[in-house]
Amino acid sequence: MSINQSGWKPAIGDTQAPAAATYTGNRALMLEEALIFEIGDTRTTGVDFSPSPLQGRGPGRGEVGASAGDENAPLPTLSPEGERANRLGGLERTASFGLPGLSEPETVRHYTRLSRQNYAIDLGLFPLGSCTMKHNPRLNEKVARMPGFADLHPLQTMDTVQGALGVIHELAHWLKTLTGMPAVAMSPKAGAHGELCGLLAIRSALEARGDARSVILVPESAHGTNPATAAFCGYGVENIPATAEGRVDLAALTARLGPDVAAVMITNPNTCGLFERDMKAISDVVHAAGALVYCDGANFNAIVGRVRPGDLGIDAMHINLHKTFSTPHGGGGPGSGPVVFSAALAPFAPLPFVEKTDAGYVLVEEETAGEHHAQNFGRMTAFHGQMGMFTRALAYIMSHGADGLRQVAEDAVLNANYILRSLDGVLDAPFGASGPCMHEALFADDGLAEGFSTLDIAKGLIDEGYHPMTVYFPLVVHGAMLVEPTETESKAALDQFIGALRSVAERAKAGDAALKSAPHFAPRRRLDETLAARKPVLVWKEPVVAEAAE
């Protein structure tokens, strides 16, 4: 018997022939995925339960648990009558509410397929300026999941959670040490929540001295959360002008200060990627005018271990643990935004906080605060903050240690300057002449071909396999592109990114039409955001089935 070799090693064929559309819409590993509402149904479940003790107690239909595994059984409901009646107060839900379920294999597949439509740090350089998209060490994931942290209820008696309180205390200690500030509030849930915490403490301090004041000064280059927070606290918001080199205009600021100004909010390093050289002088004039200094510490990564903001005279600063201390960004959160305070603001810090006593750690809450923290401004959130982020951040700090943290700042700054200088003459760097940048490099859209914009460069980078940089922020630069490589990139990775950005920028300058319709290779082409906003479809609805047309 001889082997039939026909079809075994077929010729490659015509490689120039265009690809046909596929039946599925999939393109090999680029997999489309329907919505759970289109693939699941309300009778399917991927979780098995043992029967409820009420099973069989009520008459008739829908005995609890009896339906498990039987997809034809009616949806379980409890009967209000019966031997052991339910205690739901007559408010039991009867009608179906349309939550589809999937079996476990279908669920795993659904989310795995979805995940593959995302870009992520794990896939490549993610230079989203102001967001500090650094590597997320997996040790920290492991640590956060230790049952001794992950499986604790926030209201357990303090004797049973000494280790957890110890984590909060230890992390608080390092945050105070790293910033050179005497106090810290750990409960804020993200940067913006931290800003709120800082401004509420400032307002409390001013009110305590009978001088509430009404205005907060914010640079135009500030992140949107700064003015939004100030307004939320009931303040008017006014702009601080910038100098031509991209820093706060000290003279203009000084001129504006007066008895109505409650505080200034300064981001340092600022969102143009520059260190505010005059920070100490700014703090001094602000204090002299009776106001306080809020520092947005979102960019702390550039200076951690090298500069203590406390030495610059600030009164409050939030630290995004999800940036500098690498807790994962999770597709939009959760974050954590502890706020360090100066001695002037410390008495007004919110509840709760952890204190170390001879008898161990105690959580100071409403009950005990009266004794020695009577001026606290209250509580910002239920419970005690983002414990799951604290464990990760503490593991991060310990892993790096004093030498490692300093190296973090140095490498972050080195990488950003390397990108800045490697693109000399390719992209316009509006503050390039202001000296070295800190951890991020800012470019503008000057010199692009007619009709080409920053957006096109961003979309072109997507085809090159990168997440674009932050675009159109800060607002002070036309068509801003804010590139933050972070310290966790190798030189080879930076060189490739620089090459890609140079190539895309050159196409934009040359007016390459293909760039205007980029991305070409992503799971989706450019999406119609105008349509989305004009006719918002925010939830899935069953399609209206057209009547058969006979």
Partner 1 sequence: MRYLPLTNEDRAAMLARIGASSIDDLFVDVPEAARLSGPIAGLPNHASEMAVERHMAKLARQNLSAGEAPFFLGAGAYKHHVPASVDHLIQRGEFLTAYTPYQPEIAQGTLQMLFEFQTQVARLYGCDVANASMYDGSTACWEAIVMARRVTKRGKALLSSGLHPHYVSVAETMAKFTGDALQTALPTLSAETDAEALLEAIDRDTSCVVVQYPDILGRIADLSAIAARAHEHGALLIAVVTEPVALGALKAPGDMGADIVVGEGQSIGVGLQFGGPYVGLFACQERFVRQMPGRLCGETVDAEGKRGFVLTLSTREQHIRREKATSNICTNSGLCALAFSIHMTLLGERGLRDLAMLNHGLAVQAAETLAAVPGVELVNDSFFNEFTLKLSKEARPVVRDLAERGILAGVSLGRLYPGADALAHGLIVAVTETTTSEDIAALAAGLKEALA
List interacting residues with ligand PLP (CB under 6 A).
130, 190-192, 223, 225, 267, 271, 296, 298, 320, 335, 337
Given a contact cutoff of 8 angstroms between Cβ atoms, the answer to whether 349 and 183 are in contact is: yes
Buried b or exposed e, range 80-98, using 16+ CB within 10 angstroms: eeeeeebeeeeeeeeeeee
Q: Give the C-alpha separation, 389 to 141, whole Å.
A: 10
Residue 163 contact partner, candidates ligand PLP, partner 1, none, CB within 5 to 8 A by sort of partner: partner 1
- Residue 202's binding partner among partner 1, ligand PLP, none (Cβ under 5 to 8 angstroms by kind) is none
Choose among ligand PLP, partner 1, none what residue 130 binds, the Cβ cut-off being 5 to 8 Å by kind: ligand PLP
Smallest separation (angstroms) from partner 1 to the CB of 33: 7
Written as six digits, the tokens of 376 are 């606290």
- Cβ atoms of 347 and 196 within 8 Å: the answer is no
CB of 398 to partner 1, least distance (A): 5
Residue 384: name its binding partner from partner 1, ligand PLP, none (Cβ under 5 to 8 Å by kind): partner 1
The nearer residue to partner 1, 274 or 483, going by C-beta atoms, is: 274
> 366 or 446: whose CB is closer to partner 1?
366
Q: Which is nearer to partner 1, 329 or 373 (CB)?
A: 329
Give the long-range contacts of residues 153-158, CB within 8 A, separation 24 or more.
Answer: 154/382, 154/383, 154/384, 154/387, 155/383, 158/360, 158/361, 158/362, 158/363
Q: Give which of ligand PLP, partner 1, none residue 267 binds (C-beta under 5 to 8 Å, depending on kind).
A: ligand PLP
Do the Cβ atoms of 41 and 100 come closer than 8 Å?
yes
* Least distance (Å) between residue 265 CB and ligand PLP: 9
Picked from ligand PLP, partner 1, none, the partner binding residue 253 (CB below 5 to 8 A depending on kind) is none
The least distance separating partner 1 from the CB of residue 322, rounded to whole angstroms, comes to 7
Q: CB-wise, 151 or 550, nearer to partner 1?
A: 151
Least distance from C-beta 333 to partner 1, angstroms? 4
Tokens found for residue 337: 């935004």
The minimum distance between CB 321 and partner 1, in angstroms, equals 11
List CB contacts of 176: < 8 A, sequence separation 6 or more.
182, 183, 184, 340
Interatomic CA distance for residues 439 and 356, integer angstroms: 36
Q: Which is nearer to partner 1, 130 or 445 (CB)?
A: 130
* Cβ-based neighbours of 121, under 8 Å, separated by 6 or more: 133, 134, 135, 136, 329
How far apart (Å, rounded) are the C-alpha atoms in residues 310 and 295?
10
Taking the least distance from each CB to partner 1, the nearer of 74 and 447 is 74
Q: Which listed option, ligand PLP, partner 1, none, makes contact with residue 150 (CB within 5 to 8 Å by class)?
A: partner 1
Identity of the residue numbered 48 = D
**CB closer to ligand PLP out of 218 and 498:** 218
- What's the closest the beta carbon of residue 350 comes to ligand PLP, in angstroms? 17
Q: Which is nearer to partner 1, 261 or 458 (CB)?
A: 458
Which two tokens mark 259? 């008895």
What DSSP string describes 373-394?
A: -TT---BSSSTTS-HHHHHHHH
Across 178-206, b (16+ Cβ under 10 Å) vs e yields bbebebbbbbbbbbbbbbbbbbbbbbbbb
- Residue 59 beta carbon to partner 1: minimum distance, rounded to whole angstroms: 15
Q: State the minimum distance, in angstroms, from the CB of residue 12 to partner 1.
A: 29
If you compute the radius of gyration of the chain from its CA atoms, what whole number of angstroms results?
Answer: 28
Partner from partner 1, ligand PLP, none contacting 26, C-beta within 5 to 8 A by type: none
Closer Cβ to ligand PLP, 33 or 276, answer by number: 276
CB of 129 to ligand PLP, least distance (A): 8
Pick from partner 1, ligand PLP, none: which does 27 bind, CB < 5 to 8 A by kind?
none
Q: Which does 388 bind (CB under 5 to 8 A by kind): partner 1, ligand PLP, none?
A: partner 1
CA atoms of 262 and 376, how far apart (whole Å): 19
Which element (helix H / strand E) includes 267?
A: strand 261-267
Peptide bond just before 536 cis, omega within 30 deg: no
**Nearest residue to ligand PLP, using CB?**
191
Q: Which is nearer to ligand PLP, 78 or 471 (CB)?
A: 471
Burial class (CB in 10 A: 0-12, 13-18, 19+), 437: buried
**In the complex, what is the shortest distance from the CB of residue 254 to ligand PLP, in angstroms, rounded to a whole number?**
24
Angle between helices 225-232 and 191-208 (to 10 degrees): 40
Q: Which does 486 bind (CB under 5 to 8 A by kind): ligand PLP, partner 1, none?
A: none
86 or 221: CB nearest ligand PLP:
221
